Amino acid sequence: MNYKRTKLACYSAYVTMASAFALPPLLFVTFHDMYGVSYTNLGTLVLINFCTQLTVDLILSFFSKYFNEKFLVRVMPIITSLGLAFYAFSPLIFPNSVFTGFVIATVIFSISAGLSEVLVSPVVAALPSDNPGRDMSFLHSLYGVGVTVVILISTVFFKLFGSENWSYLTLIFAALPISTTVLFMISPMPDMTPSETSNGGERSKKYVVGLALCVACIFFGSCAENTMSNWVSSFMENAIGIDKALGDILGTAMFAILLALTRMGYAKFGKSITPILFVGMIGAAACYLIAGLSTNSVVALIACALTGMFTSMLWPGALIFMEEKLPGAGVAAYALMASGGDLGASIAPQLLGIVVDKVTASSFAANLATQTGLTAEQIGMKSGMLLTTVFPLIGIVALVITVRYFKKKNI
């Protein structure tokens, strides 16, 4: 079969999926100012996003045989459109409790996002290819491209029409996934049945333990990537004091651009994923430390942007590593990996939001503010960044354990 359209549809799915991830964080300050949504509740939206995806991941992990996977792939972009449309109409539907509307909308488009990350990767892995690892890296690079497009369009829109008209922008992005559904409808789907390598006896035990270790690696990698991607816009504006438009372009957009370029670079030149994962974890830890400790706005901005480069391969790289060590794992294994990634993306950004609110309201921040010239909110934001450093540091330990396990077991 000719799977060119299938691969194009998968690529399109990752580009359009970016709107469900990238747009809400760009609106956090707007929601805080227009509707009085606290930073804790904004972090809760991120938590709900990834917890919903985690639920989808777990359902498909254990009950994938009861679902028509090819049908789910084809309808998931429509669910994204419905969720974003509900997001846009939330102030009209829930005028006295806009946050309730945001929660419902987040659940809807998060279902689609969960389906996308569970199903699209195994579709690409199942397509005939000379180098499936590079195809996987390129697929995930397109997420960064999509984020960049969302940021640039949003920045121009807000400059021209004001952030108070955010709902119209959301409706524009809600229309885009429809084309992806059309592509999937006219494209053949490969067989995604897992191989038999994971079944039986000692091999099965090694497989389960190895997969669990890979899940741990993607968890900490996701913590490192998604905390910055969800909070960099607010950090630029409130902690560093950069204008929103400039901060979104230099911070959020550069994060996404470096993330996309690094993944594309691996897709073209990459050979061994293991050293890339180690460098990514170490670099991410350094960037969070610099962002949290630096008093220089330019240095902090550069650290935030470089986090995109260092964390770029932590999620797709863990998938590539898993596929290399446990080939033919199937949809259930990808769903478990996505579960680990979504759990990390749920916990870490929410934790940062809680830290920001708690530290900002503390006497510690008030006292430190008088000594440093910073505001209590700036201190809260920086404290959250410093706390996030712990995730890539633990990730380094998890990687060491995982690599040694596979080497010992000769898998």
Mean pLDDT of 56-85: 86
Cβ atoms 360, 379 nearer than 8 A: yes
Would you state the pLDDT for residue 199? 47
- The model's pLDDT over 299-348, given as tens digits with 9 standing for 90+, comes to 988 999 999 999 999 998 999 899 888 876 677 788 889 889 888 887 88
Would you state the pLDDT for residue 189? 86
Mean pLDDT of 148-153: 85
Question: How far is CA 366 from each of CA 230, 237, 362, 369, rounded to the nearest angstrom?
Answer: 26, 20, 7, 5
Cα–Cα distance measured from residue 356 to residue 384, given in angstroms and rounded to the nearest whole number: 6
Superfamily of domain 4-187+196-409: MFS general substrate transporter like domains (1.20.1250.20)
- The model's pLDDT over 163-194, given as tens digits with 9 standing for 90+, comes to 899 999 999 999 988 889 899 998 888 876 66
Cα–Cα distance measured from residue 162 to residue 37, given in angstroms and rounded to the nearest whole number: 19
Q: Which of 313, 311, 308 is nearest to 258 (CA)?
A: 308
Mean pLDDT of 240-259: 79
For the cut 50, the answer to whether the pLDDT of residue 162 exceeds it is yes
Mean pLDDT of 45-50: 80
Domain ranges within the chain, ordered by starting residue? 4-187+196-409
For the cut 70, the answer to whether the pLDDT of residue 195 exceeds it is no
Q: Which of 381, 44, 393 is nearest to 224 (CA)?
A: 393
Confidence of residue 386 (pLDDT cuts 50, 70, 90): very high
- Helix (H) or strand (E) holding 311, with range, is helix 297-311
Handedness of CA 327, 331, 337, 338 (dihedral sign): positive
Q: What is the DSSP letter of 127?
A: S
Would you state the pLDDT for residue 397? 96
How far is it between the farthest Cα atoms of the chain? 68
Confidence of residue 198 (pLDDT cuts 50, 70, 90): very low
pLDDT, the chain, mean: 86
Cβ atoms 39, 356 nearer than 8 A: yes
